[in-house]
A and B are shown apart, each in its own frame.
Chain A
Amino acid sequence: MVDIASYPIQTAAKRRRRALMAQPKVVLGGAFILILVLLVVGAPWIAPKDPLEQDLMLGTLPPAWIDGAEPGYWLGTDDLGRDVLSRLIFGTRIALLVAFVAATLAALIGTLLGLIAGWYGGWADRVISRLVDIWMAFPPVLLSILLVAVLGAGVHSVIAAIVIIDWTRFCRVVRSETKSQAQMDYVTAAQTIGFSRARILFSEILPNVAPVLIALVSLEMGIAVIVEAILSFVGLSVSSDTPTWGGMIAAGRQMIYQGWWVMVAPLIALFATVLAFNQLGDGLRRALDPVMGR
C-alpha cells in the first residue's frame, strides 16, 4: 500500500496554489499583469507628468538615453510635447479595462450557453449551435464598426463589440468540453446518486471545464487589448484626448521619422501585454490540468 500517511497533510487548495507557483509562465505572466494593474491604480502618482499637458516648446524630444533629451521625460515626448511615458502609463487603464470587462462578459455569456447546449442537448443545443454558426458568419470587423456607429465611439462600444463577437468562441469550446465531460463515469455516478441535472452541471462538470475556460479567458484578454488598440488606432474608441496605446500608435505613425519612439513605445507595451496574457493562459492551463495526470 502506498504510504499516503507519510505525506504531510495539505488541503487541496494549498496544493493547487503550489502547482500554480511551480509554473514559470504563470509566475512571469502573472507578475507582469500585476505590475500593469498597479500602474492602472497608481497612474496619477506613478506617472511623472500629466499625460494631457501640452508644451510645444518641448515637442518631439527623444527618450532619455539619446542626445537632446530633456530630463524627466524618460521616453521622450510627442509632437505636442506630451510625455510619452505618462501617456503610456495612463493608456494602460483603457487597455486593462477593456481586457478585463470584455473578456469576463464574453466568457460569462458564452460559458452559460455552452454549458446548457453541451449538457441538456436536444433542442436547446440545436438552437444554440445554429445561433453560433450564424453569428460566426458575420465579418467581425464590419460588425464592430457598425456597433460603434450605432452606439457612438467610446470604451463602451469597444467592450460591446468584443463581447458580441467573441462570446461564440467561449460557447463552442465550453460546449465541446461539457459534452466530453458528460460522457465520463463520474457524471454517471452523480446521476446514480440522485443529484439533480442542474446540480451535476454546476457542481460536477463545471469544475472540470474550468481549466480550459480559465486559459481561454486569459487569451481573450490579450485579444481584447489588441482589438481595443486597433479600434483606437482608427479613432473609433475613446476621444482622442484620453491616451490609448492604439491612439498613440496612430499619432506616432505620422511622425515616425521625426520621433520613432512615439510609435515604438506603445507597440512594445502592446506586445508585452499580449504576450503576458498568453503566457499566463498557457501556464494556467498546464498548472490546473495536471490534476488529471502528469
Chain B
Amino acid sequence: MPDKLLTASGIEVTYGATRGLLGKPGGGHKVLHGVDIDIRRGETVGIVGESGSGKTTLGRALLRLVNVSAGTIHFDGKDITDIPDAALRPLRRRMQMIFQDPMASLNPRHTIRRILVEPLLLHRLADDARSAERRIAAIFERFMLPTACLERNPHELSGGQRQRVGIARAALLEPDFVLADEVVSGLDVSTQAQVLNLMKELSRDLGLSMAFISHDLSVIRAVCDRVYVMRHGTVVEHGLCDRVFTAPENAYTRALLDAIPLPRIEPGWLDRVAEV
C-alpha cells in the first residue's frame, strides 16, 4: 500500500478555452502552471494563497471536478487523470469535499435527511433508509446536532449547524481523502474553533487524509502538518508547517506572514514592509 495517497505532478489547468464553430481550440486563461503536490495517508496538508493563487482550482483539479490540460493525478496508486466518469464514480466515495458556504452546498429544496441518506444508499453503505438513519444518528450525536434538524431545510439551521451537516455528509461516506475548501472562512472565531476541532478529531479517528484550502495562514497552522504556499498558479514554497512558519525560505511566504496582524501590541508592525 503506497504511503502517498494522492499525488499530482505538473498540473496545468486552463479555463475558458473556446471552440470555434468548427471545433478549433483557442483563447483560454491558464490558472495553474505546473503544480506538484502529494498527500500522504493520515496527514493534513494546507494549501494557502491569496485570491488568484489558484488554490481553489487545484483542489477541484485533484477531485477531477475540473479538467486538467496537462499533468497527472494518482489516487491510491491508480492514474485517475483521464479516466471516464463511469470509472471514476466508484472512487468518488473515497474522495469527498467540504465547501465554504453550506447555504450554497446543501440543496435548498431538500431536507437534511434526504441530503444525508441518499449518498449512503448510492454507495450501499446502508441497505435501506432505516439503517442509513442509524448511521446518521450516531454521527449527529458526535457532532452535537439535534435530530430535529433532519426534517428541516438547510436555511432553517444556524450557520454552525449547517457547516457541521456539510462535514457530516462527507464523513458519512467514510472517505480516505477529504478536500476542505475554505470551510471556516466567514465563521465567528468561536464557531471556527469548534469546526477546526471537529475536523482534527475526525481526521484522527477515521485516519483521513485532508487537503485544507485557506487564505488564512493562522488557521492552517492550527490544523495542518504540511503546507503548500501558492501564488499566481504555482507553488512557491512547501514543507512542514513548523519549518515554514518559523523559517520561511521564500520572500512571498515571508511577506504573507508579515502581513498578518497578530492580536498583540507590536509598535513596528505597521511600518515594517516585507519586500516580495
Which residues of A are interface residues toward B (Cβ below 8 A)? 1-2, 4-5, 7, 9-12, 184-186, 188-197, 204, 207-208, 210, 291-293
**A193 adjacent to B109 (CB under 8 Å):** no
Task: Please state if B119 and A193 are interface contacts (CB–CB under 8 Å).
Answer: yes
A172 CB → nearest B CB, Å: 22
Q: A2-B157, A193-B173 are in contact. List 15 more A-B contacts (CB 8 A).
A: A4-B149, A4-B156, A9-B151, A11-B151, A12-B111, A184-B104, A186-B106, A186-B108, A188-B65, A192-B63, A193-B122, A194-B93, A197-B85, A208-B109, A210-B109
CB–CB A204/B65 < 8 A: no
Q: A141 to chain B: closest CB distance in Å?
A: 33
Residues of A within 8 A of B169 (CB): 189, 193
A-B contacts, 8 of them at CB < 8 A, read A4-B156, A4-B161, A12-B152, A192-B63, A192-B95, A194-B122, A196-B89, A292-B108
- Which of chain B's residues have a CB closer than 8 A to the CB of A1? 158, 160-161
Least CB separation from B60: chain A residue? A188
Interface SS of chain A: helix
B144 CB to nearest chain A CB (Å): 8
A2 to B158: give the CA distance in the assembly, Å.
7
Q: In this assembly, does B30 line the interface, its C-beta being within 8 Å of a C-beta of chain A? A: no
- Cα–Cα distance between A98 and B65 once the two chains are bound (Å): 45
Contacts of A9 in B (CB 8 A): 148, 151
Q: Does A208 contact B146, Cβ atoms closer than 8 Å?
A: no
- Docked complex: B213-261 residues within 8 A CB-CB of A: none
Which among B92, B107, B111, B122 is the interface contact of A204 at CB below 8 angstroms? B107
Residues of A near B148 (CB, < 8 A) are: 4-5, 7, 9
What is the count of residue pairs linking A and B with beta-carbon distances less than 8 angstroms? 89
Find the B residue at minimum CB distance from A8: B148
Contact A5 B146 (CB under 8 A): yes
Which of A186, A192, A195, A207 meets B65, CB within 8 Å?
A: A192
* One of A4, A188, A204 near B157 (C-beta < 8 A): A4
Residues 79-100 of B, flagged 1 when their CB comes within 8 A of A and 0 if not, give 0000001000110110111011
Sort A-B residue pairs by CB-CB distance and give the 3 closest, nearest first.
A194-B92, A185-B105, A185-B104
Residue B123 interfacial (CB < 8 Å): yes
| A10/B108 contact (C-beta < 8 A), A189-B99, A193-B92, A193-B122 known | no
Of B65, B107, B110, B122, the contact of A191 (CB 8 Å cutoff): B65
Q: Does B67 contact A (CB under 8 A)?
A: no
Q: Which residue of A lies closest to B169 (CB)?
A: A189
Distance of B179 from chain A, by nearest CB (Å): 8
Q: Which residue of B lies closest to A126 (CB)?
A: B21
User: A7: nearest residue on chain B (CB-CB)?
Assistant: B148
Q: Which of B112-128 contact A (CB under 8 A)?
A: 118-119, 122-123
Residues of chain B from 122 to 169 with CB closer than 8 A to chain A in the complex = 122-123, 146, 148-149, 151-153, 155-158, 160-161, 169
| Docked-complex contact B89 and A194, CB < 8 angstroms | yes
User: What residues of B have a CB within 8 angstroms of the CB of A193 in the complex?
Assistant: 92-93, 96, 118-119, 122, 169, 173
Cα–Cα distance between A26 and B157 once the two chains are bound (Å): 27
| B104 cross-chain contacts in A, Cβ below 8 A | 184-186
Nearest chain A residue, comparing its CB with the CB of B100: A185
Known: A2-B161, A4-B146, A188-B105. A291 touches B151 (CB 8 A): no
Per a CB cutoff under 8 Å, which of A5, A10, A186 touches B107?
A186
Pair A186/B105 contact, Cβ less than 8 Å: yes
Residue contact B158 to A195, C-beta cutoff 8 Å: no
B101 partner, pick from A5, A7, A185, A191, beta carbons under 8 A: A185
